[in-house]
Structure 1
Amino acid sequence: MADLDKSKIQAVAQYIDEVSKQFSTGKATEHSYRPALAKLLGYLLPKFTITNEPSRIQCGAPDYIIAKGKGATSIPVAFVEAKDIGDRDLDGNRQHKEQFNRYKNSLDHILFTDYLDFHLYENSEFINSIRIAEIRGNKIAVLDANIPMFLEMVAHLAESMPQKITSSTKLAQMMAAKARLLAEVIEKTLETDSEKTGELAGQWKSFQKVLIHDLTERQFADIYAQTICYGMFAARLHDDTPDTFSREEAAALIPKTNPFLRKVFQNVAAFDVDTSIAWIVDDLAETFRVTDMLKVMKNFGKATGQADPMIHFYEDFLRYYDPKQKKACGVYYTPEPVVHFIVNAVDEILKSSFNLSDGLADTSKVTVRQTSNLYTDNRTKDHKKYETREYHKVQILDPATGTGTFLAEVVRKIYSGMENQKGAWQNYVEEHLLPRLNGFEFMMAPYAVAHLKLDMVLAQTGYRAKQDKRLRIFLTNSLEECDHDTGTLFAQWLAQEASEANLVKRDTPVMVMIGNPPYSVSSSNKSAWIQELSETYKKNLNERNIQPLSDDYIKFIRLGHYYVEKNGEGILAYISNNSFIDGIIHRQMRKALMETFDEIYILDLHGNYRKQETALDGGKDENVFDIMQGVSINIFVKKKQGVILY
């Protein structure tokens, strides 16, 4: 036996001797043995960094990180979770089931140990177990025959690498598992910060102030985890040198067309990452490093048969991450035929009802007189200062843009009409398309996906950005009034995003409102602004229960109603819950819509499970979504004259 092997065997014997001394006192806990195991692993793996930080462990991380290399460039390759000596649940079948399953599913290589018995799992599968010592009375005795097998297990860990990922399903599962673990660590970090003075707590408060006022710790943890996952996903899609991929490199690779995601990712996951989560962010980066993105995206499109794999990839991710959240947030992709129909209908109406021969591709402009400042003259009443500004006439807004499906279809529609003018396309996008496409989304992951989708769709048309001009998709709550003073926030990148979204809310003359707003009768959108607007639909109703009029879909219709009315003309084109068509309590809503809009087109798609309707041929009445509530396509047109009801 080589002298090196002898020294390693001796190191294990010394480790057991130290553990035995602690155990024999009768006062030792699982924490008492940690330094001894860290010392042993450090000796057996001299080219690796062994990390054991109590502050990190309190936040739900495994007890030890085994990272290849030294310093900032080290890469996590394995993890160790330790329990007290004599703990017989090292396979996680009883009291540790939830925790162990979480680690098995999210970490490629992990050892579970009671300091004497070591159980190795790789990619969720049990590999082997080795017991190197046993309890004899009040002492620990080494099992010499098992030491060589233990050394082989540790040597195997030193050679561990993440599994190569070529499947979109596998990537979605791995991203979701790591995001769940990351969210739990973040939530526990916030809980342990009782004074709420840490970096994470400051960011949570910033999100509450600017974006979601009733945001809980768990909801923030979800946003944060999904931000990191999709920020890294976006970066990896743009990486030409995957062998060197890291969280630091990811921060530089996120497209500059999304400055907010770029800044927020740099803040939360790269240069100023909170120490409690750095280990899992690095582990996630390693997963992306070994992912063949070309195969993942190529195979995914073939597997689904869908033209838009990005949406379905996000749906897969959310299904694995939290299927309940998917349902609660109304995250259901709009079927492509529906999106295609609505976009084509808007294009046709712009041509026929507004005499815009180019429809959605129109480049005409309008001059708008706006309030630029409000000041007070001490001698007189308040005065408004006005300025004029030029905008493109056909400004388009999807107020619940989700993954950007409708805006992407608008791009495709316009491009299809300009295929014979490809030489003009580059300048057209810069000067006449990007300034007109607006989207609002308040969930972080779909917001990131929407940016990715628009980037990809534009690239497919041959467009190449000449400058780092952002896409006009903003992280904001559409149902809240623009905040005239975002203030000085802990996170300035969030304030900047809010400010730019406010410019659209306050100043942009939106002519086309388009999309698939969420449906939720138990709406959590209760800002005074949208509730006051919604009173228009509740006026003089003498009904016992008008709660359904507070459904999110009705608030979004009222929002579109407001924008078009404010603009003086325009189109509201949604697919939505269809209960407003004939509901008794919706009569004021119908009246208000008829008073404002000149043309009303409604295509009732039915599909209400509770009504038990049947198709015209007597067959099953199926919904275009996997929901119980019926839906309809609604197109409301406001011109300058007359009322025509269809």
Structure 2
Amino acid sequence: MLNKYLKKIYGQCIAGNAREESYYPVLLNLFEEFFKVKQIRNGNITQLPKGVEGGNPDFVVRRGKELLGYIEAKDFGKVDNLELVTESEQIERYKDNFENFILTNFVEFWLWRKSEKKWVKKVKIQQPNIISKIKTLTPVANEKDLLELLSEFVEFSIPERKSAKSLAIDLASRAKRMKAPLLEELNNNVETDVDKIYKAFQEYLMPDLSKENFADIYAQTIAYGLFIARLQYKGERKEFNRTLARDLIPKNLKILKQMFSFVSARNLTNNIDHIIDDIATVLAYCDIEKIKNDLHKEKGKDPIVHFYETFLIEYDPEKRKRMGEYYTPVQVTEYIINSINDLLKDEFDKKLGFASEGVTLLDFASGTCTFPAQAIIKAKEEIDQSSQPGNWHEIVKKHILENFYAFEISMASWIIGHLKIALLLEDSGYKMENGDKFNLYLTNTLDFSKIEGQGGIFENVLKEEAEVAGKIKRNKKILVITGNPPYLANSSNIIQKGTEFYNVYESYKEIVRKEEKNIKPLSDDYIKFIAFAHYKIKQAGKGIVGIITNNSYLDGLIHRDLRRKLSEDFDEIYILNLHGNSKRKEKNPAGGKDENVFNIQQGVGIILLVKK
């Protein structure tokens, strides 16, 4: 077998003008013959498209649907010693990403194992120079060693992931590889399924969404969607694959389910397809029960957010840093939710706080649903401590799932938020049933525009989500508004004229616009979110706002209209100024540096607004 292989390599070389790709069919044939010898009937080796420079290795090898490994080939006429390329950026990246990987120049083969962090076997069956320069063929050397190397390669099994942390890292490393080929597909000026989804996101959700940011969203969405599908899967684990994903994703996640119509149907390029298959294989061979236990354990912590943060550290450290700046500490969330719960009981005669009939809640910038999750935990505590405990199953089904709402614009956070609430309710004793849906909507809270026209199936799913969210924004009376809104001075969000929301927001500029030259800071997103909460409570006629925000409005000169309007419309205002403004060089009572609860320069504060 190897003599035949080497003769074909030699034949291509002496024929003249041979390039690296000239030897590909010979290598493919070698593996096909080897599969027969090893009696691996469903073994296959596939050449991958070149795509983005250095983005893909040359071949992927599978046993049926199971990923075995990757192969990167170099032209022995140019690379006569593999040592010369092993520390290149490309090969280092492959070593970081691939568990089982062969580097070859067709006559020399090196086998890499990520778990051992080393080249575990190196075999040379011919001196490259003898073929490429002297144009001579000598007998195959080290035949037994190469056959052993190939056996180790094809007999490889992906290591079982037994912790949420290891799985998050592996999913992220693979999702990261999808971004470049996804962006390439978006830039090829051909209307593909990916392009249609991108345009739908622009039309119905984020008009300013760039192709680069969408590629980032889509890569994360595929990884998290497959993860959710795996959590739902009950069959033989080795049978789990991407084609099952759409049917496994819960019906209540309509947007995600529809996006996976394209993923499951293999409507993406091979450049992307093989990475998705890789993710599915990793998920198939993980210990899903141990991972579920990881996601349920550690009371007082947020294991779902920890999973997301671990994913981001590997996927995009800068994004993780930005997220960490704004992720609300558990202690802050608990303080706000506990305070609102007490106000509901003391000021609104809601004896069971969040568990009481008639309490509606909206987190207007939910992220991963930290505030609604804490409100559910508090509701469960009230029920458990009550002298007349209610039926928790009924309270969840008829109260929480009907009256608790959340808005989020990030697709990844939206997916994680749905997963968090489902796991939290499961922990509390309630298993989500067919038809159950937590009212978390993928929407821009500040966008009140109405959706017109008809689109394709995916566009209509996005449109439906936007329409339901729009009705909540415009019409639904909400008793409690909570959350941690974004701070963005250069906001691109335009408040739609002719709405009561617009009137409330504009009232914050009523006098200062006549007296001050620069009122641009009033365009900060956090001010618009305060105005949104103000508008919703005015609409309801009563209620509570409990949020943590940038604290510049507390003493800012141009914020005096805002302070006046809040004082006029609310009966009680409680403020906990957490300070932490590094620009002001604020000090703590002991005279030391006043640390911020977030890793940001701007000071923050908690405000509770009560209208009875």
TM-score, normalised relative to structure 2: 0.89
Question: For 1:598-609, what aligned pairs fall within 5 Å after superposition?
Answer: 598-609=571-582
In 2, Cα distance between equivalents of 1:630 and 1:592: 22
Q: 1:351 to 1:51 in 2, by over 3 A?
A: same
SS, match of residue 129 in structure 2:
strand
Matched with 2:11 is: 21
Q: Residue 286 of structure 2 is aligned with which of 283, 288, 291?
A: 291
Q: Name the stretch that deviates more: 564-573 or 574-583.
A: 564-573
Q: Residue 160 of structure 1 is aligned with which of 156, 163, 167?
A: 156
Matched with 2:466 is: 498
Q: 1:91 to 1:619 in 2, by over 3 A?
A: farther
In 2, Cα distance between equivalents of 1:409 and 1:131: 61
Q: 1:345 aligned to 2:339?
A: yes
Q: For each residue in 1:102-139, what CA deviation from the matched residue of structure 2 results, as whole angstroms up to 9, or x when unmatched?
A: 33323221222333333322227232332333123163
Could you say which structure has the higher strand fraction? 1
- The question of whether the paired residues in 2 share the 8 Å contact of 1:59 and 1:188 is answered with no
Matched with 1:368 is: none
- The question of whether the paired residues in 1 share the 8 Å contact of 2:410 and 2:442 is answered with yes
- The question of whether the paired residues in 1 share the 8 Å contact of 2:52 and 2:184 is answered with no
SS, match of residue 139 in structure 1:
coil
Q: 1:566 to 1:208 in 2, by over 3 A?
A: same
Q: Residue 83 of structure 1 is aligned with which of 74, 77, 81?
A: 74
Deviation of 1:45 (Å): 2.0
Match of 1:130, as an amino acid? V
Q: 1:353 to 1:63 in 2, by over 3 A?
A: same
Deviation of 1:418 (Å): 1.2
- The question of whether the paired residues in 2 share the 8 Å contact of 1:512 and 1:570 is answered with yes
Question: For 1:410-421, what aligned pairs fall within 5 Å after superposition?
Answer: 410-419=375-384
In 1, Cα distance between equivalents of 2:451 and 2:186: 30
Q: 1:104 to 1:267 in 2, by over 3 A?
A: farther
Q: 1:478 aligned to 2:470?
A: no
Deviation of 1:279 (Å): 1.3
SS, match of residue 160 in structure 1:
coil
Q: 1:593 to 1:115 in 2, by over 3 A?
A: farther
Q: Name the stretch that deviates more: 584-593 or 536-545.
A: 536-545
SS, match of residue 517 in structure 1:
coil
Matched with 1:450 is: 417
Matched with 1:274 is: 268
Q: For each residue in 1:30-49, what CA deviation from the matched residue of structure 2 results, as whole angstroms up to 9, or x when unmatched?
A: 22222221121221124311
Which runs of no fewer than 5 residues in structure 2 stay unpaired? none
Matched with 1:181 is: 177
Match of 1:408, as an amino acid? A
Deviation of 1:593 (Å): 2.4
Q: Name the stretch that deviates more: 484-493 or 422-431.
A: 484-493
Deviation of 1:284 (Å): 0.7
Percent identical residues: 36
In 2, Cα distance between equivalents of 1:94 and 1:586: 60
Q: 1:148 aligned to 2:144?
A: yes
In 1, Cα distance between equivalents of 2:519 and 2:547: 23
Q: 1:571 to 1:17 in 2, by over 3 A?
A: same
Q: Residue 121 of structure 1 is aligned with which of 90, 95, 112?
A: 112
Deviation of 1:177 (Å): 0.5
Deviation of 1:605 (Å): 0.9
In 2, Cα distance between equivalents of 1:132 and 1:75: 29
TM-score, normalised relative to structure 1: 0.84
Matched with 2:352 is: 358
Q: Residue 202 of structure 1 is aligned with which of 191, 196, 203?
A: 196
Question: For 1:254-403, what aligned pairs fall within 5 Å after superposition?
Answer: 254-264=249-259, 266-276=260-270, 277-298=272-293, 306-328=300-322, 332-364=326-358, 394-403=359-368
Q: 1:586 to 1:143 in 2, by over 3 A?
A: farther
Q: 1:108 aligned to 2:99?
A: yes
Q: 1:412 to 1:140 in 2, by over 3 A?
A: farther
Q: Residue 39 of structure 1 is aligned with which of 29, 53, 58?
A: 29
In 2, Cα distance between equivalents of 1:352 and 1:523: 38
Q: 1:614 to 1:58 in 2, by over 3 A?
A: closer
Q: 1:79 to 1:583 in 2, by over 3 A?
A: same
Matched with 2:225 is: 231
- The question of whether the paired residues in 2 share the 8 Å contact of 1:479 and 1:559 is answered with yes
Matched with 1:460 is: 427
Corresponding pairs, count: 591
- The question of whether the paired residues in 1 share the 8 Å contact of 2:294 and 2:303 is answered with no
Q: For each residue in 1:541-569, what CA deviation from the matched residue of structure 2 results, as whole angstroms up to 9, or x when unmatched?
A: 35454443332222222222222223332
In 2, Cα distance between equivalents of 1:207 and 1:142: 60
Match of 1:172, as an amino acid? A
Q: 1:614 aligned to 2:610?
A: no
Output the aligned Cα RMSD: 2.8
Matched with 1:251 is: 246
In 2, Cα distance between equivalents of 1:88 and 1:169: 40
Match of 1:409, as an amino acid? Q
SS, match of residue 618 in structure 1:
coil
